[in-house]
Structure 1
Amino acid sequence: MALWGAFLRGINLGKRQMKMAELKACLEAAGFAEVKTVLASGNVRLEADGDADAVRAGLEKAIAARFGFAVGVVLRSEAELAAMLKNHPFGALDPGADLTRHVLLFERPLPPDLAVPDRPGDTEILRIDARDVYIVAYRQPNGRYTEHVEEVLKPLYARLGKGNLDTMRNWNTIEKILK
């Protein structure tokens, strides 16, 4: 069995609620092994047989059957997660800066020539990889960090069009998923 990180899109918002203990039980009943949820925002480490498409389909089917609504799942293999952790661009940041680190995970590859204008000192795009966008957001005068992330990402979504499955995670979550 292979180890996977599964990142669920758009749960625990509005009526799309699920408790992580129920999610864990759901996935174990569906045949996934070594299931561990990370935080309460739809992050799961698990073991499963099959390729990414089969694992994703199995997760989405089990979740929809148990919770009554469809949930998109963005997957990363253990090797992909290890590479992200080893090669992330956050090490060059000022360790004393008041900021948050995020990664926007896409299910499908992004266009190779993709560029996203950012706002230095506010919301910066540190790097765009094949399926991941690394973002740093600095604390704003109102105390919020991600105040302008959506605005910075609008040109990206305009270029990609509809039908792209993505989900954003705080980098701390990615650091915890393999533990």
Structure 2
Amino acid sequence: MSHVWGAFLRGINLGNRRMKMADLKQCLEAAGFAEVKTIAASGNARISASGAEDTIKPKLEKAIETRFGFPVGVVLRARDELEAMLDDHPFGMLDRKADFTRHVLMFDQPLPEGIGLESLPGNTEILRIDPREIYIAAYRQPNGRYTEHVEEVLKPLYDRIGTSDLDTMRNWNTIEKILK
């Protein structure tokens, strides 16, 4: 039985790690994934596939590396996980008049118990930490940027887990579009 998945590729379209979404779509279809749809140009795809996350993820990563010539980590979320994120996000508590962007940092593995991160109020705010997601509001700064202090806020987490190779951050608008 086939299930719908959101596949979020890490670190593409930066430097020499370029790929067109039409090429990604063809790659995933050639690898046997069905109902492939790409969302935005930052490596997001909705696919239909049979099997569990631990069999689909390596198949995706192998197909992408074979086609594009460089390794790409993939963070997967099943349809029910994505629907739960959409139904129970913390962004509704924010002042709608404020100038901010909404983001979710998704991890491949569960986060360590008891992770606490300090927000920078009015700059980068950690709204909630779930077992495999961190919800972030990033406010517009005087230089016009929104997310330039995210790394500073997340540094204690990466100091504890030792790497940022198991995660990917997405604008919330992308999450809202992935199942449509």
Q: TM-score band (shorter)?
A: over 0.9
Q: Report the CA distance shift for 1:175/1:110 in structure 2 as closer, same or farther (over 3 A).
A: same
Alpha carbons 1:108, 1:164 under 8 Å: kept? no
Q: How does 1:31-50 map to 2 (within 5 A)?
A: 31-50=32-51
Q: Report the CA distance shift for 1:178/1:50 in structure 2 as closer, same or farther (over 3 A).
A: same
Shift, 1:163, TM fit: 6.7
Q: SS at the partner of 1:113?
A: coil
Could you list the runs of 5+ residues in structure 2 that have no partner in the other structure?
Answer: none
Q: Which amino acid aligns with 2:96?
A: P
Residue identity (%): 70
Question: 2: distance between equivalents of 1:56 and 1:83?
Answer: 21
The normalised TM-score by structure 2 is 0.98
Match of 1:70 in 2: 71
Which one is further off, 158-167 or 109-118? 158-167
Could you list the runs of 5+ residues in structure 1 that have no partner in the other structure?
Answer: none
Q: How does 1:50-61 map to 2 (within 5 A)?
A: 50-61=51-62
Match of 2:28 in 1: 27
The normalised TM-score by structure 1 is 0.98
Shift, 1:164, TM fit: 4.6
**Runs of 4+ that moved beyond 2 A:** none
Task: Give RMSD over aligned pairs.
Answer: 0.8
Shift, 1:147, TM fit: 1.7
Q: Report the CA distance shift for 1:22/1:64 in structure 2 as closer, same or farther (over 3 A).
A: same
Q: Deviations over 1:36-77 (max 9, x none)?
A: 000000000000011001110110010000000000000000
Question: 2: distance between equivalents of 1:171 and 1:15?
Answer: 26
